[in-house]
Amino acid sequence: MAKAEAGQSKVKVNTSSVGELKTACDTGLKELLKERGYEEMHTHTDVKLILGYVGIIFCAIDFLYSWKYPFSQTKWFSYISVSVYALTSGLALIYSYAVQRDTFFVGYNKAKGHVVSAGSRAKSNDPTYRLTLTTRPIRGSQDPPVYNSRPLELKQPFMAWFHEDGEFARPQFNSDIEAALETLLTKKTD
Amino acid sequence: MELLSQAKKWGVRSLLIQGLTFLSVLTSAFMIWKGLSLFTNSESPVVVVLSGSMKPAYDRGDILFLHNGFSPIEVGEVVVYKLNEKPIPIVHRVMKVHTENESGKQYLLTKGDNNSADDRGLYNPGQTWIQRDEIIGRVKGFVPYAGMGTIWMNDYPYLKTVLLGTLCVMSLFGSD
């Protein structure tokens, strides 16, 4: 699978792999939104990183402590570190399933005063890209139009955006996504 | 250095994510072992039999699953013990138990089924009994000969290098 540069070089994927097709679309969408002025918000990643590393730090300390001193002496700390590790791992898993779910990009547009969140799903053996876009105003922002609070769902077969040889058809993809974004951002809630 | 150029290109966050993915494999393995260790109250809940002193029950290379718990040891139990000065765990049967009335402290004498003499020859000089806290655990289950690999790697250290090398090569060519 070819990697896409931050420029616009060709992306070519294996069209029989739903995973590769989905990843190429996700990356394309990220690049498009970044071009349109959306700065990436890393909240989901940061939460999981913090939980993960807290667990790892406790594990490392426990490892060193029990390496140096006998089991009966270090047992009390092992109880603590195993509990902390189980807790942080559990929380990270719950966060991933309940809060983050399919979201792969959250972007912050300061100029327009809103946040766009993109999540995608593609079932194996079903070459359809299911995209969900949501938006919310930035807290405290005074931007007048009240954006659509309902998520926008886009469902398209992958082949609409890929050539037969697997090359990613960026122009078609971009225009479809931009149309979806327009709908998401200009419809008013009633 | 490759790491620095990757850091510049994809940012520190991406490095941290990769680090987390790699480290969580190691840490979860260690934590599972520790958790089992705490549950069984045993510093090493899985051991490999090193000698044939418990034949025909256990033979060299058997993997034993231990559970120590906190209850007093009884005569006839097969236990694994490690003397305070010596690093090698020994798997033998408990022949005699003396218990102090007031403190409940136990004094144990062990012997391998396949040995002609009791373990007093193995204990530390001057030691005629072992204590409850020298017991790593009682044998609760076993898998015959499953630990022969560990024994070979201890007897022929170059095998460890061969195994490590094979794993590295496989990981380089495996994931893409």
Residues of A in contact with B17 (CB under 8 A): 45, 49
- So which residues of B are the catalytic ones? 53, 92, 119
The segments of chain B whose pLDDT lies below 70 read 1-4, 6-7, 175-176
What letter represents residue A93's amino acid?
L
Q: Is the pTM of this model over 0.90?
A: no
A62 vs B38: CB contact, 8 Å cut-off?
no
Q: Which helix (H) or strand (E) holds A73?
A: helix A71-94
Q: Which helix (H) or strand (E) holds A115?
A: strand A114-121
Q: Which helix (H) or strand (E) holds A108?
A: strand A103-109
Residue A63 confidence (pLDDT): 96
What is the tens place of the pLDDT at every residue in A52-70? 999 999 999 999 999 999 8
Residues of B in contact with A42 (CB under 8 A): 13
What is the tens place of the pLDDT at every residue in A17-40? 888 889 899 999 999 999 888 999
Any chain B CB within 8 A of the CB of A141? no
* Chain B interface, best mutation among A54, A59, A84, by max B CB count within 10 A: A59
Residues of B in contact with A66 (CB under 8 A): 34
Measured between its terminal Cα atoms, the distance across chain A in Å is 45
Backbone dihedral region for residue A133 (phi beyond 0: left; psi -120 to 50: alpha; all else: beta): beta
Asked whether the predicted pLDDT for residue A6 surpasses 50, the reply is: no
Residue A45 confidence (pLDDT): 92
ipTM: 0.81
Which residue stretches of B131-157 are H helix?
148-155
Contact (Cβ atoms closer than 8 angstroms) between residue A129 and residue A22 = yes
B24 vs A56: CB contact, 8 Å cut-off?
yes
Contact (Cβ atoms closer than 8 angstroms) between residue A133 and residue A107 = no
Taking residue A167's Cβ as centre, other Cβ atoms within 10 Å add up to: 16
Contact (Cβ atoms closer than 8 angstroms) between residue B161 and residue B88 = no
Report, as an integer, the average pLDDT of A110-118.
84
